[in-house]
Chain A
Amino acid sequence: MSDTLTTAPAPTPDTSKTIAAVPKGRTGAARILLGRDAIMIYVLVAFVIYASIAIPRFASPVTVGFLLLDVIPVLLIALPMTLVIITGEIDLSVASIAGLTSALMGVLWAAGWDIGLVLLVSLLAGVLAGAFNGFLVAVVGLPSLAVTIGTLALFRGLALVVIGDNAVANFPPELTSFVTSKIGSTGIPTVMIGVVILALFFGVLLHMTPFGRGLYALGFSREAATFVGITVNRAKFWLYVGTGSVSALAGIYWTLRYSSARSDNASGLELTVIAAVLLGGVSIFGGKGSIPGVIAGVLLIGTINYALRLGRISDVVLIIVTGSLLIASVVAPSVFDALKRWQHDRRVRRSLPQAALGNQPTP
C-alpha cells in the first residue's frame, strides 16, 4: 500500500511555462487594434465601403449631409448616456425630455416670446428635468430603471399637457435654414461643429480625467468609486443633469430641423439611443465602454438606416437587422469569453502535475 510513497520520486512539474491565474489580457498593438471599439470602427468602415459600391449614389456629399442630419439627435444623446450606463445606471426618459423641450418651444414661440428667450427657457427645462431625475436616483436612492420609466411617462405627459394636439410650424426661417445648412461644398452640416465639440468634451471627460476614470470604478462598485475619490451621489446627480441638458439640445435641434414643434417629437428615440450605445461596446452592467466605440455604433446604425432607405429596401429589414445586431453584439462577447475560458482550462489541465503523471501506471 505504501509502496508508491517510497518507490518513484514525484516527477517535478514543468515550470518552464507559467500559467497566469486568469486569461491574460491583450497588450500592445493587439489591444488597440483588436479591442471592442476598434472592431466597431472596422465594421463601420467596411459597411461604408460596401454601401458605396453596392448602392448607387451613396458615395456623395449629399449622403453625408442627410445622414448626419438624421443621426445628430441620437449621437447627441448617446454621449452622456454612455457615461450614465458606464456607472451602472440608465436613463429612459431622454426622448421624453426632448419632446417636452420641443413642446415648450412651440408654445412659447406661438405666444410671441423672443426666440432667444424661447431657446433659453427650453434648455433650462431640460436641465431641470435632468436634475429631477438626478435627485430621485442619487439623493433619494431609487432604482434608475424604474424612476426613468416613470419620468418617461411624466415628461411625455407634460409635453401633451403643454402643447396638446397642436403643432407649431412657423419658426424663424433664418434659424431653420441655419440648422440644415452645410459647410461649403463638403456636405457636412454646420451644426456638426457643435456636435463634434460636445463629443470631444465627453470623450475627454470620460477618458482623460480622473472623474471619468472614477466613473468606471463606480460601474463596478460604489465603494471602489469612493476610494478612488468620487463623491458618488454628486457624480450621479450631475450625470443626469447632463443627459437632461443634452436631451433638451436634441429636442431644440429636432424642432428647428423639421420646423415643427409637436408633443410626439422624438418619440421612441430612447430605445434607438440605448441600442446604439450597447452596440458601441458599452456593457449594460457598467464599468466598460468608450466614447469612440459609441460614436462608431451610432454612425453604424445611421449608415445602415440611410443605405437601406437609399436602396429603397423596406424598413422591415432595418428593424430586424438592428435587433439582430444588438443581440449579436452582446452574445458574441459571451461566446468568446466562454471559448477563452475553455481554452485556458484546457491549458491548465495539460500543465498540471497529474498530466505529467498521466501515463504512469496507477498504483
Chain B
Amino acid sequence: MTQTPATQNPTGTTTAGATASSQKPGQRPSNNRTVGRSVASFMKLRELPVTAALIVLVVVTYAANPLFLSPQGIKDLLLNATIIIILAVGQALVIITRNVDLSVGSMLGLVAFGTGTLFQVMPDIPIIGAFAVGMLFGAVLGAVNGLLVTVAKVPALVITLGTLYIYRGLNNAWAGGTQYFADDRPAAFGSLSVDTVLGFPLITLIAILVVIAVALYMVGTRPGRDLYAIGSDPDAARLFGIPIGRRVFLVFLANGVLAGLAGVLYASRFNSVGANTGLGMELDVVAAAVVGGVAIFGGSGTVVGAAIGAVLLTTITSALTALRVDKFWQQAIVGVLILAAIIIDRLASIRTARKLRVSEARDV
C-alpha cells in the first residue's frame, strides 16, 4: 500500500503521491489526467495571486499612461525594486524557518555608510573589494543575530528588535552628521547602478541571479529543504535529526550577507549615505515577503514569491504616481494587499489540510 507523505512540499502544491494513492502501483496515469493535474497544481501555486496582481497592475497602469512602460520607465521600475528584492529574499529565508529579522534596515544603513567610509579611506579599492567588504560586514551583523537566537534560544522577534535599535544607534554614533555623497565615491561605482546589459540594468541582473541561486538552494539541496521542515514543525525536525541550531544560524548569516549586498548597492544608486539610511525599511521587506506568499508561521512559501512581492510593492508607488492618483492611498493599498495575501494563504492551507485529511482517511 502506498504511503502518502504527510508533508506539504515547498511550493504548496499537494504531492502527487496524495492523489495517486488510489492507483495501483506501477500504473502510468493517463495523459489527460497529467495535464489536468498540472493545470490544477499550477492554479494552486502560492505565487499565483501575487503574480496575477502584478500583471493586472502593470496592464491597467500602462493602459492609462503608456509612459509607464517606456524604456526609461521600465528601467526605473526594475532599479527601484532591486534592493528590496535582495532584502526580501533574505527575509523569506528567515521567515520560512519560523523566525523574523527586524534589523535589516539598520544593517543596510550600517553597510551603506561603511561603503561610503571605505571609499573615503581607500579611494583606489577595486569595486569587487567594496562588495566583498560590505557583504562581510553584513555577515558579521547577521551572525550576531544568529548567535543570539540560537544560543540564547530567545525568539527572533525580540532579538532583532533589540539589534534594530543597537545597530541604528551604532550607525548614528559612527556617522554623526557626516554624509557621503555620490561625488565621494568613484564614478565607476556610481555608474554600476546605471549600466545596462542588453538594455537590462546590471544591478537588477545581480538581484535576479541572487534569487535564482537561493531558490535552487532551497529546492535542490538537503539543507535548503531542511529549512522548510524547521519552519513547519521544529520538534519533528529535531527528532528527525536536523541540526536546527546550525541551520538557523546560517540562515541569519545569509540574511546578513544579503543585507550587506543591498547596502553596497544602495550606496551605488542613491546620492547620500548617512546616519538615517535604511530607516524603517524592515516592515516593507517583511510586507514584501508576506505578500509574496511566504507564510508568517514558517514552513511554506518561496524566495521567488518574495521577490515578486517586492516588485509588486515598489511598482505600486510608481503606478500610483503615473496614474496621478493621490499618493496618500499608497500605504492603505499596501495594507489591503498584505491582508489579502494572508487570507488567501489561510484559505489555501485550509483546503490543503482538508484534502490531506480526506486522502489519509481513504488510505486507512
| Chain A residues near B (Cβ < 8 Å) | 90, 136, 140-143, 145-147, 149-158, 160-161, 164-165, 271, 274-275, 278, 284-285, 314-320, 322-324, 326-327, 330-331, 334-335
Complex contact A327–B163 (CB within 8 A): yes
Residues of A within 8 A of B346 (CB): 140-142
Q: Are A150 and B165 in contact (CB under 8 A)?
A: no
A172 and B21 alpha carbons, distance in the complex (Å): 73
State the Cβ distance, B101 to closest chain A Cβ, in Å. Answer: 13
User: Among the listed A140, A161, A322, which residue makes an inter-chain contact with B165, where contact means beta carbons less than 8 Å apart?
Assistant: A322
Decide: A147 and B152 in contact? CB cutoff 8 A.
Answer: no
Chain B residue at minimal CB-CB distance from A156? B331
Which residues 139-180 of B sit at the A interface, judged by CB distance below 8 A? Answer: 148, 152-155, 157-159, 161-170, 172-173
Contact across chains for B338 and A157 when beta carbons are under 8 A apart:
no
Residues of chain B within 8 A (CB-CB) of A315 are 172
Query: Please, how many residues of chain B have a CB less than 8 angstroms from a CB on the other chain?
Result: 44
User: 16 A-B contacts, Cβ less than 8 Å apart?
Assistant: A140-B343, A142-B343, A143-B296, A146-B342, A149-B286, A151-B339, A152-B283, A152-B335, A153-B331, A153-B334, A154-B338, A157-B329, A323-B162, A323-B169, A327-B163, A335-B152
Q: Are B296 and A145 in contact (CB under 8 A)?
A: yes
Please provide the 5 A-B residue pairs with the shortest distance between their CB atoms, ordered closest to farther.
A154-B335, A157-B332, A323-B165, A157-B331, A153-B335
Residues of B within 8 Å of A156, CB to CB, are 331, 335
B162 A324 Cβ-Cβ under 8 A: yes
A330 to chain B, nearest CB (A): 5
CB of A319 within 8 A of CB of B338, answer no
When chains A and B are docked, how far (Å) is the Cα of A326 from the Cα of B165?
Answer: 9
Q: Is the CB of A327 within 8 A of B334?
A: no
A327 touches B148 (CB 8 A): yes
Tell whether, in the assembled complex, residue A161 and residue B287 are in contact, meaning their CB atoms are under 8 Å apart.
no
Q: How far is the CA of A152 from the CA of B338 in the complex (A)?
A: 10
Q: B-side interface residues toward A, CB under 8 Å?
A: 100, 148, 152-155, 157-159, 161-170, 172-173, 283, 286-287, 290, 295-297, 326, 328-339, 342-343, 346
CB A335 to nearest CB in B, in angstroms, measures 7
For B159, list chain A residues within 8 Å (CB): 327, 330
| Chain B residue at minimal CB-CB distance from A328 | B162
Q: Which of B296, B328, B333, B339 contacts A136 (CB 8 A)?
A: B339
Closest chain B CB from A283 CB (angstroms): 9
Q: Which of the listed residues A142, A150, A335 has the most CB atoms from chain B within 10 Å of its own CB? A: A150
B188 to chain A, nearest CB (A): 34
